[in-house]
């Protein structure tokens, strides 16, 4: 398995980019993760994860158009690369295989 360099937070950030693309940028990604997890997510943490994911080749970015609500500043928009998509599929496959092996008796032990 190749995903040893993908942390849990990076995984959910990468998933959020896939969901929000083509309008994925740090603020809306943080909002999406807060909505899904019910926990506070700092845009700084998201920004750092986005930079790591881009360095690993899982994301690409480009500058969007300047907007008046941002004081004329441009947003950095992110998209998942083919490599990033393959990594997400690998992660999903591993997780699904493990979940499928959990029996009803196992879940009773958790109670």
Query: pTM of the full predicted structure?
Result: 0.86
Taking the C-alpha atoms of residue 29 and residue 61, their distance in angstroms, rounded to an integer, is 14
> What local confidence, expressed as pLDDT, does residue 4 receive?
58
> What local confidence, expressed as pLDDT, does residue 59 receive?
98
Decide if 5 contacts 57 (C-beta within 8 A).
no
Residue 97, token pair as written in the block: 């295989």
Peptide bond into 22 cis (omega under 30): yes
CATH number at residue 100: 1.10.10.10
- Which residue range is the domain that position 101 belongs to? 3-110
How do beta strands 59-66 and 74-80 pair?
antiparallel
For the stretch 10-64, pLDDT in tens is 999 999 999 999 999 999 999 999 999 999 999 999 999 999 999 999 999 999 8
> What local confidence, expressed as pLDDT, does residue 1 receive?
44
Residue 73 pLDDT level (bands cut at 50, 70, 90): confident
- Provide the number of structural domains found in the chain: 1
Residue among 42, 44, 53, 45 at smallest CA distance from 17: 53
Q: How far is CA 74 from CA 2, 37, 77, 84, in A?
A: 34, 28, 9, 24
**3-class DSSP state of 74:** strand
């Amino acid at each position: 398995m190749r995903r040893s360099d993908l942390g849990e937070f990076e995984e959910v950030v990468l998933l959020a980019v896939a969901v929000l693309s083509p309008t994925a940028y740090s603020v809306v990604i943080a909002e999406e993760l807060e909505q899904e997890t019910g926990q506070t997510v700092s845009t700084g943490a998201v920004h750092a994860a986005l930079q790591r994911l881009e360095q690993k080749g899982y994301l690409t970015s480009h500058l969007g158009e300047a907007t008046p609500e941002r004081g004329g500043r441009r947003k950095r928009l992110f998209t998942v690369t083919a490599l990033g998509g393959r990594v997400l599929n690998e992660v999903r496959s591993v997780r699904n295989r493990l979940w499928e092996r959990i029996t009803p008796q196992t879940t009773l032990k958790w109670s």
